[in-house]
Structure 1
């Protein structure tokens, strides 16, 4: 894959930061190197539903990959997701068959594009929309950046694998913008906004607005805005949070598809039709066209919160919809976050209909004819109960390794023995960039381990693993020092208040192996001084604080390889 030339100022700043970090690591800060990372899923739903040769699993992207949007150019499909304050931002995947997906990078991979340094974990990038404009052979990614004073914005590129432009701020309020290119070459933007001042009828009353878009100036046309949907399908029913709009043209008609009902248990997808791109838009009589809200709460293999969808014409003329949904665990908690699902769409009638989108969803789908499931092979993203091994020795880390609020390159050094996470003077509770490499939690039941080479020189130093839902809800499991002794510690942070669960004095002679085992909404934190005989610290602890129903926000849990020079955990 060819790399896009970097901005020289960014390279200069990056070099300065890396040099400073390297200097710290060899002077007054201890070395800490992570190697041999292993992650393995063991979810019951996959064990109970093995794939047949003509099947594949949905979700296609497990873990925190919410708010999917999709587009196509020729035979290539491109999909993006919300990333909030994760850095780099907006992961982008490509596929030729809607089944096998390969990550090609991130859309927002430079600090000049992503201003999330002081943002909470659920701020930053919301609901990106990606669309290809065949008239100028250009891809557009439009989104809302809830941080750094950016607001609604657009970037573009000729090749999604070669990097994206700098940010162009857009002159309108609201969230969830999407762009549409009509057959006559004209462009429009639709988005969620507040109703006109003084007309709000209830909490959650929102509108969908439309603007003309000037492709030469990359800006909305001032004064062209108009409300095309007020409140939702039926304002007399007081629908909440009409949002996530996308506009399509099909067989001469214009279709506006939106999420309605909020992103929780009443989430759904609804559709409207018009003869003109500017409306009037008439809702379908059979709305919603996608939801999981009508079924018993205790149903088996539960999928819930389905909505926030986007449509694309797939291979052989078969339409598909990608959308977010959640799969709660045994305690009905949402630790993995909102995931990306796919369903075939029937558009043989007037309106598109998600096939089996109004019945309890199944974990498996039939492969499109002529398609082979290559999950986890040939660079394709894995799903199901997969195992991911990473020695962490590659100079270019896998794209799934991300940072929080700033570039990972600011604190990592690649070595032949593993990746060195050079500690920042922030700890995991900071509203600031932190020195942790994160991997998304992608299963309810899982096992993960990593080898750590680390001997702290002071009580201010700590390195280990964090289970991170947010800066206010997390676990830290790591090595620190008290006096002349080394300790392994386990701390729980809930609502920003931290509590030491357990600590134990250990003898550090060489590397230590850290292991997390998640089962039935509990997590066991284990360690092995000899690399094989594991000892538990603190007993199984509850995964409750890793769930959005406890912690709030919009993200799923992350597993972090963490280092800090501002440790505040004091062993007993």
Structure 2
């Protein structure tokens, strides 16, 4: 016992010494200081479609906020989305009226419990469900986590405003889980899964399973699993990727709503009904109830890929559906990513149907009666065209700023000078947490401008802006050293292969301003050594590598404030 105590004390002393040394090293490192950041969205569709006093825009969440799920308690609505390897995981929003939303940050914000540090950007965590259970006054968020061996997990809270409990692992496979509580208090989980072994009929053949859920142990009950949909609406037509299931109950009947067709051009939403939550489920005769797949590919102001939906009763007791869709650019490339849209839903008949969800979608909707549109004001999340100005004067960093594969607090802090980033010895092209503060690209036409101050010490140092679709497809635009000289460089990385597009020796005479501007597929990078007069570097370059068309994956493009001490881009 005494030996054990001595060993413990020695270990503690060594740990303190190591921690002190590490902190000194951290403090002695030079920081890159970013200030006066301005993001300006300027899409033509919003100029052509100004709002009337009783209207609001859809998407309600622009940028990479896919796979929405929604619930309510009283007149409080809570909505969650996928976040993949972005951190914190599972962004959550609050509203009183389905129009004006407040950003509450991320549900999974403890890196010791959710740590996507070694995953590709499209792994991490995705397709959440959120459900309020009135029987025990508890909110449940359930999701699939592709990191740290977590798998399907559930977290709980009495109040989403005050944070969430620790993840509880659930003992089943598959993806896209959601939880449903019946009027008698019983719990059920539905999710996408592979067919039983040896019964897969074609590529993309999936099934929907249901489990009974024990609320006292927070576990699925072994042996209660059952396949309730095999393949989709019509197995003879070989439907692919039946997924994102949600259970509802209305007028004594159970309804199962799912996405079908894959999250691309054939995406749709379909619905089934049953007398029991365990089936058998019969598809509606009028499926799909939401899709954009039937229209000309070259239509103007195209919204596409609509599906992966969830339903809720609005403040006017009318039903609404939130779902993902995309707004591609003029070359049909998806740079912004999959966004959260909303439509009213007509459920006056047996089955719900998304109003105007089976015709080309429009950017404006009528608000629920009595609602005032405050988006972009009074702390509410903006949509349409807007300008976001960040001077980093607030002690609390806006939740729109996110980390990748780890917490933003691990490398950034706010000071009187602005945002200070302590560079990691990690390059943006590595599958590790990077010292980059990211903002989602939310428009096809936008500009993003920032001031940067960094005392470069060697060619390993770089600070600037990064436009990123993933670790293998990105642009880096910033300053580095070559000998005693300072250079500004623009680097393009495609399929993991990097190329310097342009570089120029510069002498910074005042605050260095960096800017990226996009007009659809055309991106331009400019700098001002005196803080005012911008010069273009590299001409007009293609945003192709910032699209999922080229890069693959499930995310949208991010724009980041980037600093590294592992730079490999040399003029």
Give the TM-score, by structure 2 length.
Answer: 0.96
Superposition map of 1:542-561 within 5 A: 542-561=542-561
- Aligned residue in 2 for 1:301: 301
Superposition map of 1:171-182 within 5 A: 171-182=171-182
Report the Cα distance in structure 2 between the residues aligned to 1:33 and 1:457, rounded to whole angstroms.
15
Matched position secondary structure for 2:376: coil
- Aligned residue in 1 for 2:38: 38
Alpha-carbon spacing, 1:18–1:346, altered in 2? closer, same or farther (3 Å): farther
CA deviation map 1:265-307 (0-9, x unaligned) = 0000000000111111000000000000000001111000000
Per the TM alignment, residue 42 of structure 1 is displaced from its structure 2 partner at its CA by 0.7
**Contact preservation (8 Å) 1:58, 1:341:** yes
Per the TM alignment, residue 21 of structure 1 is displaced from its structure 2 partner at its CA by 7.9
Matched position secondary structure for 2:549: helix
Per the TM alignment, residue 511 of structure 1 is displaced from its structure 2 partner at its CA by 2.4
Matched position secondary structure for 2:47: helix
Report the Cα distance in structure 1 between the residues aligned to 2:379 and 2:20, rounded to whole angstroms.
32
- Aligned residue in 1 for 2:3: none
CA deviation map 1:485-508 (0-9, x unaligned) = 011111000011110111111113
Q: State the number of aligned residues.
A: 556
- Aligned residue in 1 for 2:520: 520
**Contact preservation (8 Å) 2:90, 2:126:** no
- Aligned residue in 1 for 2:477: 477
Per the TM alignment, residue 148 of structure 1 is displaced from its structure 2 partner at its CA by 1.6
Residue 427 of structure 1 pairs with residue 427 of structure 2: yes
CA deviation map 1:158-180 (0-9, x unaligned) = 11011111110100000000000
Report the Cα distance in structure 2 between the residues aligned to 1:203 and 1:291, rounded to whole angstroms.
22
- Aligned residue in 2 for 1:248: 248
Per the TM alignment, residue 24 of structure 1 is displaced from its structure 2 partner at its CA by 4.0
CA deviation map 1:246-276 (0-9, x unaligned) = 0000111000000000000000000000011
Report the Cα distance in structure 2 between the residues aligned to 1:20 and 1:316, rounded to whole angstroms.
60
Q: Structure 1 residues 309-318 or 239-248, which shifts more? A: 309-318
**Contact preservation (8 Å) 1:312, 1:319:** yes
- Aligned residue in 2 for 1:3: none
Residue 150 of structure 1 pairs with residue 140 of structure 2: no
Report the Cα distance in structure 1 between the residues aligned to 2:560 and 2:25, rounded to whole angstroms.
21
Superposition map of 1:271-286 within 5 A: 271-286=271-286
**Contact preservation (8 Å) 1:37, 1:449:** yes
Report the Cα distance in structure 1 between the residues aligned to 2:125 and 2:19, rounded to whole angstroms.
26
Alpha-carbon spacing, 1:409–1:535, altered in 2? closer, same or farther (3 Å): same
- Aligned residue in 1 for 2:74: 74
**Contact preservation (8 Å) 1:241, 1:261:** yes
Per the TM alignment, residue 112 of structure 1 is displaced from its structure 2 partner at its CA by 2.4
CA deviation map 1:414-464 (0-9, x unaligned) = 101101011001110111100000000000000110111112111101010
Per the TM alignment, residue 395 of structure 1 is displaced from its structure 2 partner at its CA by 2.0
Superposition map of 1:448-463 within 5 A: 448-463=448-463
Report the Cα distance in structure 1 between the residues aligned to 2:30 and 2:278, rounded to whole angstroms.
62
Unpaired runs of 5+ in structure 2? Answer: 1-15
Residue 319 of structure 1 pairs with residue 303 of structure 2: no
Q: Structure 1 residues 474-483 or 503-512, which shifts more? A: 503-512
Report the Cα distance in structure 2 between the residues aligned to 1:507 and 1:320, rounded to whole angstroms.
56
Instruction: Provide the aligned C-alpha RMSD in A.
Output: 1.4
**Contact preservation (8 Å) 1:17, 1:410:** no
- Aligned residue in 2 for 1:203: 203
Matched position secondary structure for 1:568: coil
Report the Cα distance in structure 2 between the residues aligned to 1:164 and 1:17, rounded to whole angstroms.
33
Per the TM alignment, residue 531 of structure 1 is displaced from its structure 2 partner at its CA by 1.0
CA deviation map 1:199-257 (0-9, x unaligned) = 11100000000000011111100111000000000000000000000000011100000
Unpaired runs of 5+ in structure 1? Answer: 1-14
Report the Cα distance in structure 1 between the residues aligned to 2:387 and 2:22, rounded to whole angstroms.
32
Residue 414 of structure 1 pairs with residue 408 of structure 2: no
Matched position secondary structure for 1:480: strand
- Aligned residue in 1 for 2:344: 344
Q: Structure 1 residues 232-241 or 29-38, which shifts more? A: 29-38
CA deviation map 1:101-139 (0-9, x unaligned) = 111121001112312010000001110000000011110
Superposition map of 1:98-497 within 5 A: 98-497=98-497
**Contact preservation (8 Å) 2:314, 2:368:** no
Matched position secondary structure for 1:144: strand
Matched position secondary structure for 1:409: helix
**Contact preservation (8 Å) 2:508, 2:530:** no
**Contact preservation (8 Å) 1:112, 1:166:** no
Per the TM alignment, residue 54 of structure 1 is displaced from its structure 2 partner at its CA by 1.2
Matched position secondary structure for 1:106: strand
